[in-house]
Amino acid sequence: MRRRSGEYRLWTRRDFIKLSAAGIGAVSLGMGCAPLVTTPTSGPKPPMPLPMTIAEAGKRLREGSLTSKALTETYLKCVKQLEPKLNAFITLTEEQALVTASAMDAELKAGKDRGPLHGIPIVNKDLYDTAGIPTTVGSEFFRKRVPKEDATVVRKLKEAGTVMLGKTNMNEFAAGISGTNQFFGDTHNPWDLDRSPGGSSSGTGAAIAAGICLGGTGSDTGGSIRVPASWLNIAGIRPTFGRVSLYGVYPRAYSLDCAGPLARTVGDVALLLNAMAGYDLKYSYSIQALQEDFTVGLDKGVKAIRLGIIENYTFREIDPEIAQAVQAAVDKFTSLGAEIKTVKIPLFGGPLEYSSLFNMLLYEFNQILGDEFRAEPRRKEVFGPIVQANIDRGMKITKETYEKARAERPKQIIEVKEVFKSVDALLTPTMPTVAPPLVGASKDYDRGRQFTLPFSWTGLPSVAVPCGFSPAGLPIGLQIVGNELQEGLLLRIAAAYEKATEFYKRRPKVSCAEMV
């Protein structure tokens, strides 16, 4: 939300609670929210349900039964209604969103169509630089940080015609998967407000799950896209390392970071990835790959596709409800015509120590932030306990230990990729548990690294897709992992499963129920 001075205000949960207490009518008036109607062409039109997917929204925008402005206004109203419960946003860019939405409507009316994302409201995780808009990285230390340039992904999504509703909450400096934040408040899971939404892309995930946008950006170092996808009943992809530019995205660990999208459905993830992926000279790890339309082939199914269950790994040390859901997914793939094979990856059977991989992440995190952290006299006030602990641990890791791990990494990647000679993709849980309580012990979150961090380490793409619910009604996610640059195949596999199960259609307790 822009102040009269021209600056953007960083909204806190307390702000939204105060506004909500004043009544939604007063909220709409005080924050400039226009009436939630589409201008009629031949008499009044009855309100319609919000679109479930980007594709549905696009169809309605082009046939004239919906405008981007009306859709944006409705989502903004939902934000104001639900934000006191969810705390998904750090900055709400309402004024800018409405201006952009109106411009997108005018372009469509004039015959200019930017493609499938034209006029689609999304959100951006608050570590993506946005020109003239605060990018805090979830940190008190960067509360007043305002970039002068958009991150490459932000620029590309703008060019594709998206409408940014705001910048979303996250673990401070992307440190952790809990969704907690000492300075901007914790993000809450709309399926159960006392539980974690997953992180560090917590705000993006919670906003999508609660139906207050159609998609958004996340980042994934050790699982920060896949974890919220698993615990929120949405889809997300961690692409091949280097396939999406990280220029203008604040780093957590240079050699592990990836940028990727989250959305309600696999098809929507594919549409967002189309806009985000591509070579970027400004990003040193960017890889040159053929431009690909990730939506092509989503309807081809999985007949004769070879899917691997990893011996002593896929079902190791996971909660019974997770094992049951993953086994049901394996059975479903079999019924869809896939070939299920048990495979061995010796490295995953023991030698690959997850805590050692995490040490490599923390060494790089210390290299990125450590000097600023140590030079800040108020560091105990402006850095949270997780960041402080991460820096302290990262300082203790020697360069020799780090370089030894780096030297071993290429060989380990080759060893893991050998499995793709016998299968097309691998199946694992995304997480070994359902979402734990927000105030849960660190061990509740540490267990999650066993399925996400190894594939970050090997740089391989992986998709997280809903695969069921616990007896308590909490979402469970399936991870599908492929060889490098096989995002199209992974999305095809995930789409076939999604279509056959339709878990994505279930809505959480806290959800936008508006009409547009």
The residue among 452, 448, 462, 447 whose CA lies nearest residue 493 is: 462
Question: Is 125 a catalytic site residue?
Answer: yes
β-pair partners for 236: 262, 464
Residue with tokens 């997917």: 53
List 139, 196, 224, 462, catalytic entry: 224
Spatial separation of the C-alpha atoms in residues 71 and 50, rounded to whole Å: 8
Is 200 assigned a catalytic role?
A: yes
Q: Taking the mean position of all CA atoms in its chain, how far away is CA 273?
A: 12
CA pair distance 478, 460, nearest whole angstrom:
16
Phi, psi (rounded to 5 degrees) for 401: -60, -45
Which of 68, 178, 196, 200 does the annotation list as catalytic?
A: 200
If we measure between CA atoms, which residue out of 196, 288, 199 comes closest to residue 242?
Answer: 288
Nearest to 134 by CA among 193, 186, 91: 91
Question: Which distant-in-sequence residues (6+ apart) come within 8 Å of 438 by Cβ?
Answer: 178, 179, 180, 186, 188, 189, 194, 195, 196
Q: Does residue 356 carry a catalytic annotation?
A: no
Among candidate residues 69, 77, 85, 125, the one labeled active-site is: 125
Beta-strand (E) ranges in 371-441? 425-429
Write the secondary structure of 174-219 as one string of H (helix), E (strand) and C (coil).
HCCCCCCCCCCCCCCECCECCECCCCCCHHHHHHHHCCCCCEEEEE
* Catalytic residue annotation: 125, 200, 224
